[in-house]
Structure 1
Amino acid sequence: MRVRLVDRLAELSRGAGEPAVIVDRADVTVVRSGGTVLKAHAPRLGPAALAVRLRVAAHPLLAGILLAPLGGLTGPVDGRYVSRWPYGPPVAPDAPEAAPWREAGDLIARLHAVPADRLPDPLPPMSGPANAARAIAALRATLTSPARRTPAPRAPVDSAPADSGPPPDRTRAAAPPPPAPERVPAPDSTPAPDPAPAGPAPGPHPHPAPAPDRAAAAVVLRAWARLPAWARDDEPRAQPRSLLCHGDLHLGQLVRHPAPDGPWHLIDVDDLGLGEPAWDLARPAAGYATGLIPAANWAAFLAGYRAARGPAVAPGDDLWPPEVDVPARTLTVQLAARALVDAATGTRPLDDTDHDLLAACARIAAMEDGTEPRGAS
């Protein structure tokens, strides 16, 4: 736990209620005090881009779509920039039958429809492909770094707040098969962390981390090489789209506001930006393709998206729109890379979900035409 940062957030939240640590990871720290949530953003996020994203979230065109912040940025606080938000109850992780799939589809379609040229500032690119590239860079770093030392496990923190989603749920992912969907990546309940920094990790009781699984890493890197260059963030897309995108959509990014039972809103602006809207459909599409999301839930999500005239996929009743194929494959590889980094840095061991991810990467790597599957452009 980053004690100094948590203490500073608790000080900033005084007067709103008894502070409670909700999330404390390398990429994000969140403290809730009563009806207020303070979020210390990832170190990679600079103040200029964050400030633009906060202004967009507060813009009237986003009312009822994105949760609006309570003011601008604070900081730096212990080297991190902090935003303040109203609390909203997240999706309950223990009630999957009540998950708001149709509402999620409606919200993301409405976000995509917001005219970017009417927003106050030029937005940065949506971070989806860049996040995938960071995961691969982190995996490559584990293959060249000396053995790391990591802190002993710490006690779990409280349940999730408005901008963190449900507690971690290690869901599976597999490769989307051509031509019909075989089963792809599932929606993860928490945002993927930033790559672990090089060098020893902090902690009072370090212990040796396991060596990286080089054979598994090689499979992931071969699957990565099969993806189009635009999905790897290597070059612009041949026919780019530049719509307002969330960049990291999953059910953990929805809260009710006002609490306790107001309408659903999207949260987390860290990856908000302009880009390919189909990227925002990758996780729920992948969950359907892997069988982790029932077909009825994926159909409800798509129905909500299409009813709101979302531009990422064509109208109709196709449950595997070709536009989601490449983003879903890319997310599969990204999640597998993250899992290997976590294992190599001693964050957590590989589990059954991760082995399914690696098997999916093997299928992607073995595809005859993995660089341009149907739906790619």
Structure 2
Amino acid sequence: MRDEDASAPVLARRLARVAGEGSWTLLKNTRVTVVRAGDVVVKAHPPETDETALAARLRLAAGLPGVLLPPASAEVGHVDGRPVTVWPAGEPVDPRDPGAAPWEPAAELLARLHAAPVDGLALPPAGGPARVVRAVALLDGLDAAYAAPVAVIREAFGTLPREVRTAREGTVARTERMDAGTAREGAAPPVTVPSPRSPDGGGPPRAWLTHGDWHLGQIIRYQGEWLLIDVDDLGAGVAAWDLARPAAWYATGLLDPAAWERFLGAYLAAGGSAVPTGDPWRELDVPARALTVQLAATAVAAAGTEGRPLDEVERALVSSCGRITRTAAAQ
């Protein structure tokens, strides 16, 4: 694709000019628009992005070498009124070769991220819980043909703790047994958080540096090493949310149990402290249920937008939401 390709979105063509002249590739065009030109990736964030929080996230990424991909520029630019960031390009995980997925390197990176000292850092709240709320909102207004799966997802959503169901961008959410700070209403600037441990050195973590939305699309190989990417949800929060998506895949039957064991085992072996060794589901239960709801809502919304029946994976996610509701009712 070249700059003069009139079929490309206007925003994408303008982002490509930020990267330079020559050929370029449109990598993503959803809530965010991402293009790659040569060794540079340019990303336009959603118009409603909190730019103060985004700038803080860029500084955090630059300050954790060997864990997070550092930005090519520490400045937030603008194209067509959208905040824009620029990054070095790397090699993503190959979706055609699931057996080669870097579960162990990813787990080790997350463990190192969760161990990063946070004293005195101005951190925006991690965006994991707010993504769940945003995904469920996508179900509003879908055709009546999708009424049954929508009802199942909304029922499962209703079983989640209130702090998750009411989370918004800029809100530090709490979940059962996992206190990430005091919930706040509305958007908020970056906040200075305390040490991840309670003052006496014991007890559960109070605040973490978390990725907020980790999956295999959020890791790339750059200059010979794997690094975490996509800082949109990076911040202070509950570290167990970073394990929630693979945990939800595993619980739904979409992730090979052997892959899950590799991932969780590598995380604990690397000193990851988001979950206890003996009973990881004590901390994973709420985030995994929430991510199941998020994945199901996103899938059904996409099917509704495209006007097609649910596929096998989408039906499995909705079925898992039904199990969440039945389990909650039985307790």
Determine if the TM-score, normalized by the shorter chain, exceeds 0.5.
Answer: yes
For the residues of structure 1 that align with 2:307 and 2:88, how far apart are their CA atoms?
31
TM-score relative to the length of structure 1: 0.73
Matched, 1:279 2:241: yes
Root-mean-square deviation (CA), in Å? 2.1
For the residues of structure 2 that align with 1:339 and 1:291, how far apart are their CA atoms?
16
* Percent identical residues: 50
Tell me: higher relative CO, structure 1 or 2? Use CA pairs within 8 A at least 6 residues apart.
1
Matched, 1:39 2:38: no
Classify 1:216/1:297 alpha carbon distance in 2 versus 1 (closer, same or farther; 3 Å). Answer: closer
The corresponding residue for 2:262 is 300
> Would the aligned equivalents of 2:126 and 2:234 in 1 still touch at CA under 8 Å?
yes
The CA deviation at 1:307 is 1.8
Of the three residues 62, 79, 82, the one matched with 2:81 is 79
> Would the aligned equivalents of 2:210 and 2:239 in 1 still touch at CA under 8 Å?
yes
For the residues of structure 2 that align with 1:368 and 1:19, how far apart are their CA atoms?
49
Is the partner of 2:164 in helix, strand or coil?
coil
Is the partner of 2:138 in helix, strand or coil?
helix
Of the three residues 4, 9, 15, the one matched with 1:3 is 9
The corresponding residue for 1:254 is 219
Of the three residues 120, 134, 156, the one matched with 1:223 is 156
Q: What do the CA deviations read for 1:154-185 (whole angstroms, capped 9, x no partner)?
A: xxxxxxxxxxxxxxxxxxxxxxxxxxxxxxxx
What letter is aligned with 2:48? R
What letter is aligned with 2:84? V
The CA deviation at 1:348 is 5.8
For the residues of structure 2 that align with 1:242 and 1:347, how far apart are their CA atoms?
42
Matched, 1:97 2:104: no
The CA deviation at 1:293 is 2.4
Question: Structure 1: which 5+ residue stretches go unaligned?
Answer: 144-209
> Would the aligned equivalents of 2:248 and 2:288 in 1 still touch at CA under 8 Å?
yes
For the residues of structure 2 that align with 1:291 and 1:358, how far apart are their CA atoms?
12
The CA deviation at 1:84 is 0.8
Q: What do the CA deviations read for 1:70-97 (whole angstroms, capped 9, x no partner)?
A: 1134432112111111111011111111
Count of residues in Structure 1 that have an aligned counterpart in Structure 2? 293
What letter is aligned with 1:254? I
The CA deviation at 1:124 is 1.5
Matched, 1:18 2:23: yes
Question: Structure 2: which 5+ residue stretches go unaligned?
Answer: 1-6, 168-172, 181-205
Structure that is richer in helix per residue: 2
Is the partner of 1:305 in helix, strand or coil?
helix
Is the partner of 1:45 in helix, strand or coil?
coil
Is the partner of 2:271 in helix, strand or coil?
coil
The CA deviation at 1:367 is 2.2
> Would the aligned equivalents of 2:252 and 2:317 in 1 still touch at CA under 8 Å?
no
TM-score relative to the length of structure 2: 0.82
